[in-house]
Structure 1
Amino acid sequence: MPLSVHHTSAALRIVASEEGVAQARAFTEDTLRDWSLGHRGDDAALVVTELAANAVVHAVPRAPADASEVWLDLTRDAGHLTLAVSDPGDAPPVYAPHGTCALEEHGRGLFIVDALCEEWGWTPHPPAGKTVWARLSTTSSSLP
């Protein structure tokens, strides 16, 4: 599990499996504790889980075998935490909150990300790949 942790940034190569997604979640929780941002750990871990799972389930299977890496990048500044997952997929993330039933097992990931984050988006990396990112405030969650 190659990783890099600094005072304001951390990176982890995510293994394309359920175990890799779980490692990304644990890495996020541990890093935020180290950064004294443990109060944002639950929300950040949930967002990372959704972004990493989307990459592993949707982008990696469609990528060539030699271009299947998924990376998690965490960065922080004075007021925000940015969670970013880069994958080899070209397709934009699919956000369909109005067409998704709350009881469905799949299709709610970006709806959850949208609900927890101040903003989120994606950046294409031609000729192949993209980064899906989300920003959380470093202050306590405003959710009840």
Structure 2
Amino acid sequence: MPETVPPPSGALTVSAALRVECSREGFARVRSFTRDTLHIWSLGHRYDDTTLVVTELAANAATHAAPAAGAPGAPEIRLGFLLDPTHLLVTVSDPDDHPPVYAPAGSALEEHGRGLCLVDALSEEWGWTPCPPAGKTVWARLSTCPPI
């Protein structure tokens, strides 16, 4: 069942967003945007986990958005970050209406299907919400605290 995007956990929030095509160049922009945004927000210690989560969500969006877009050319996805004092909320939106498929029982040797398991392992929580009139947003909340 879809969940709503969780509200910020604190009063002060900062946000950043990016629209990219589902292409090799688009994914490079996603990684650069993630690195630059986390650097500006002094969250370099969260770069590796956040980049992996963003990459997995963007790859899922690209895989499922391309057939859903129905138009020639690469479909667009929307990446968003929302920072509050204790958490970073990552969102990836695409034009596909179908919910993400989480399949934790897969084999470790499978080539596909483990992305959301990584998202689940690296984030405090994750979920998705529909975006009327079409599409969805998949989100993940990560702690801003330095690792212990």
Superposed counterparts of 1:45-124, under 5 Å: 45-65=51-71, 68-98=75-105, 100-124=106-130
Q: Distance in 2 between matches of 1:22 and 1:141?
A: 26
RMSD (CA atoms)? 1.7
Does the residue aligned with 1:72 lie in a helix, a strand or coil? strand
Q: Alignment length, in residue pairs?
A: 135
Residue in 1 aligned with 2:45? 39
Tell me, yes or no, if the aligned pair for 1:124 and 1:131 is still in contact at 8 Å: yes
Q: Distance in 2 between matches of 1:94 and 1:123?
A: 13
Q: Distance in 2 between matches of 1:18 and 1:107?
A: 20
TM-score under structure 2 length normalisation: 0.85
Give per-residue Cα distances to partners, 1:105-128, cap 9 Å, x unaligned: 211000000000000000001231
Q: Distance in 2 between matches of 1:56 and 1:127?
A: 19
Tell me, yes or no, if the aligned pair for 1:14 and 1:24 is still in contact at 8 Å: yes
Give per-residue Cα distances to partners, 1:40-90, cap 9 Å, x unaligned: 011000000000011111123222328x33100011000000000010000
Residue in 1 aligned with 2:33? 27
Q: Which amino acid aligns with 2:91?
A: A
Aligned identity (percent) is 65
Q: Which runs of 4+ in 1 moved over 6 A?
A: none
Does the residue aligned with 2:96 lie in a helix, a strand or coil? coil
Q: Distance in 1 between matches of 2:147 and 2:119?
A: 14
Q: Distance in 2 between matches of 1:110 and 1:21?
A: 18
Residue in 2 aligned with 1:8? 14
Does the residue aligned with 1:122 lie in a helix, a strand or coil? strand
Deviation at 1:15, TM superposition (A): 1.3
Structure 2 unaligned blocks of 5 or more: 1-12
Q: Which amino acid aligns with 1:107?
A: G
TM-score under structure 1 length normalisation: 0.87
